């Protein structure tokens, strides 16, 4: 009978230990993937902190999927413009991850070659993805990456041009293949050896050792299952024991600490994504702010220069908005500003961008093309004027405002940001001067003159 009980206990313990090994191996692989994605996010944040001409694309989970750059990153021109060598930027990311980071560039055929690593070395190394059929990933990739003759488990953050062509990317290593696999194999061998020793000891001490060893197994298996379900508050029992089960409990506690650390890193990544959004959007309306709109406008002008798109710039200024603040208070003014954004949003095409520049000033970038570009711009402006003419409501009180719009177009009215903004501003002053609640297109000959009360007003001159 003792033999059969011992055999059953040994089988149950073997199954429990096997479950622990499987969960540990699976959790370690997921940890590599998570760390690779997080390190790539950290590297992209360091890159964007230095190279302000780049922008990012966020996926549905709030992670950066790829970086968009209108010009090469890490070349001599960007070094002169920022004052930072590529190695300096990579060192910032490496200091946070504790691992190597490479900046790579792509040739015309999409082949990737390293420019520099975080130590200012490692240039000219061929970069490939041995386990992937796609050697030119267009979005965030995590997996095995070969840099030169060494293979790493890493995250690859691609850098694309405005037209989607691969310019290069960032390779953020979690560790070399030799080191990672050696550590995992060592952990598996340690746990396997622990299991064998425990089984041998159980067989020698027979029923007494069997009874003592049997009770902790369900509890430890339960903690492993809880950890697999991300329950990191579970208490790991039997750590005070000096036998093999105590060592197993300590190993499970080590695993629990690793899971807690992984959750902390995930929260840090989520917080970084939130801060990134706040830095580029207006806190009241949720619309892009002035800095983000400037970046989007510059990108549109670069695409226009490449012959891929044209656009229309509109500057919007609310009429009689000061009266709302003076009579109903700033809370009412804030509610009106939020509603302005909500009313305009359904009128826009998917590629159009509405931003709040500050106060009651808004800007709109309309991407247009073809022979009817002017008609489309006028149609959108007229629709916005009509939408703003409808009374707003605050606390049951009707609020009447309006909007004046100045319009300049690319490339007809200029191809530089400062010129387009100045001419759209001139057209806006003309719309204000002609009675408000209307739009005006920029025409050659428009000027700014002083009104009777000393304020600046627009004059259409001979162009309208």
Place of tokens 């191996």: 25
Cis, bond preceding 411 (omega within 30 deg of 0) = yes
Among 360, 412, 425, 453, the active-site one is 360
Q: What are phi and psi of 403, to 5 degrees?
A: -145, 140
What is the H or E stretch that residue 120 is in? none
Render each residue's pLDDT in the chain as its tens digit; 464 residues: 446 666 776 777 777 777 777 887 888 889 999 999 899 899 889 888 888 888 888 888 888 888 988 888 878 887 887 788 888 888 888 898 899 999 999 888 888 998 888 888 878 899 999 888 887 788 899 999 999 889 999 999 899 888 888 888 899 999 998 998 898 888 888 888 887 888 788 767 767 776 666 677 777 787 878 777 777 777 788 788 877 778 887 888 888 888 778 777 777 877 777 778 788 899 999 999 999 999 999 998 888 877 766 789 999 999 999 999 998 999 999 999 999 999 999 999 998 999 999 999 999 999 876 667 788 889 999 999 999 999 998 988 899 999 999 999 877 788 888 999 999 999 999 999 988 899 999 998 887 764 444 344 455 543 33
Helix (H, G, I), strand (E, B), or coil: what is residue 245? helix
Angle subtended at Cα 63 by Cα 234 and Cα 171, rounded to the nearest 5 degrees: 100
In this structure, are residues 447 and 461 in contact, taking their beta carbons and an 8 Å threshold? Answer: yes
What is the H or E stretch that residue 322 is in? helix 321-328
290-459 classified as CATH 3.30.70.270? yes
pLDDT on residue 453? 45
- Burial group, residue 133, by CB count within 10 angstroms (0-12, 13-18, 19+): exposed
pTM of the model: 0.43
Nearest to 437 by CA among 317, 280, 334: 317
Lookup: tokens for 442 = 């920029």
Could you tell me which residues come within 8 angstroms of residue 39 by beta carbon, excluding any fewer than 6 positions away? Answer: 93, 97, 99, 101, 154, 155, 172, 173, 174
Angle subtended at Cα 229 by Cα 225 and Cα 235, rounded to the nearest 5 degrees: 60
In this structure, are residues 393 and 399 in contact, taking their beta carbons and an 8 Å threshold? Answer: yes
CATH 3.30.70.270 occupies which residues in the chain? 290-459
Please, where are the H alpha helices in 215-243?
216-228
In this structure, are residues 338 and 285 in contact, taking their beta carbons and an 8 Å threshold? Answer: yes
What length does the chain have?
464
How far apart are the C-alpha atoms of 293 and 355, rounded to whole Å? 6
HSE-CB of 457 using CA atoms within 13 angstroms: 13
Sheet holding 402-410, edge to edge: 353-358, 361-368, 310-319, 402-410, 439-441
Is 360 among the residues known to form the active site?
yes
Helix (H, G, I), strand (E, B), or coil: what is residue 296? helix
How far apart are the C-alpha atoms of 322 and 184, rounded to whole Å? 66
């Amino acid at each position: 009978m003792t033999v059969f009980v011992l055999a059953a206990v040994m089988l149950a313990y073997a199954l429990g230990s096997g479950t622990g090994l499987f969960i540990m191996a699976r959790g370690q692989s997921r940890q590599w993937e998570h760390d690779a994605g997080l390190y790539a996010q950290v590297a992209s944040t360091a890159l964007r902190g230095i190279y302000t001409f780049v922008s990012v694309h966020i996926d549905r989970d709030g992670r950066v999927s790829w970086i968009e750059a209108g010009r090469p990153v890490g070349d001599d021109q960007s070094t002169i413009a920022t004052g930072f060598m590529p190695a300096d930027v990579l060192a910032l990311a490496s200091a946070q991850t504790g691992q190597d980071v490479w900046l790579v560039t792509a040739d015309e055929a999409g082949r990737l070659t390293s420019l520099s690593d975080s130590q200012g070395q490692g240039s000219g190394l061929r970069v490939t993805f041995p386990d992937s059929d796609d050697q030119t990933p267009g979005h965030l990739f995590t997996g095995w990456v070969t840099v030169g003759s060494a293979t790493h488990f890493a995250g690859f953050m691609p850098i694309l041009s405005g037209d989607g062509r691969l310019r290069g990317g960032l390779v953020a290593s979690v560790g070399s293949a030799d080191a990672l696999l050696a550590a995992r194999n060592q952990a598996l061998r340690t746990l396997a050896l622990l299991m064998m020793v425990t089984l041998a000891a159980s067989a020698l001490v027979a029923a007494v050792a069997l009874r003592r060893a049997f009770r902790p197994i369900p509890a430890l298996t339960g903690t492993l299952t809880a950890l697999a379900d991300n329950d990191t508050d579970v208490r790991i029992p039997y750590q005070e024991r000096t036998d093999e089960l105590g060592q197993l409990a300590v190993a499970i506690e080590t695993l629990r600490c690793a899971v807690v650390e992984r959750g902390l890193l995930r929260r840090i990544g989520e917080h970084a994504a939130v801060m990134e959004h706040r830095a580029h959007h207006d806190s009241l309306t949720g619309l892009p702010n002035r800095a983000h709109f400037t970046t989007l406008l510059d990108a549109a002008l670069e695409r226009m220069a490449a012959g891929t798109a044209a656009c229309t710039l509109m500057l919007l200024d609310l009429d009689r908005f000061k009266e709302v603040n003076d009579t109903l208070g700033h809370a009412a003014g804030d509610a009106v500003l939020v509603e302005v954004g909500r009313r305009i949003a359904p009128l826009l095409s998917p590629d159009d961008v509405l931003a709040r520049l500050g106060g009651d000033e808004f800007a709109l970038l309309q991407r247009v093309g073809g022979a009817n570009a002017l008609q489309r711009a006028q149609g959108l402006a007229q629709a916005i004027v009509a939408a703003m003419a409808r009374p707003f409501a605050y606390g049951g009180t009707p609020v009447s405002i309006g909007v004046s719009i100045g319009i300049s177009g690319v490339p007809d009215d200029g191809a530089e940001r400062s010129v387009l903004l100045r001419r759209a501003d001139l057209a806006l002053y003309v719309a204000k001067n002609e009675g408000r609640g209307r739009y005006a297109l920029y025409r050659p000959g428009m000027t700014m003159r002083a009104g009777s009360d000393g304020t600046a007003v627009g004059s259409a001159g001979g162009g309208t």
